[in-house]
Structure 1
Amino acid sequence: MTIDFSKYPDEHGHFGPYGGVFAPETLMAALEQLKKEYE
């Protein structure tokens, strides 16, 4: 059995070669703020 990791984000949180995140646009500001707090 092989696991297809292409449907999961990489270590940077990007999906596939084009990046992106799996989150609604309305949450992006809150997610960016949360990301800054953890850096």
Structure 2
Amino acid sequence: MGLGGNGGGEAGQAGKSGFSLIIVLFIVLIIVGVSYIGLSF
């Protein structure tokens, strides 16, 4: 989906990189949470 965007010129910006890392971690947390809720039903 948007995973191939790592090769862009934004990779040199530490602030943008940190922000992207937070977003990725947040998405992973959401996916894990949804999976956990789905498995518990």
**TM range, smaller chain:** 0.3 to 0.5
Higher helix share: 2
Using structure 1 for the length normalisation, give the TM-score. Answer: 0.40
- Higher normalized contact order (CA 8 Å, seq sep 6+, divided by chain length): 1
What is the TM-score with the length of structure 2 in the denominator?
0.39
- Answer with 1 or 2: which has the greater Rg: 2
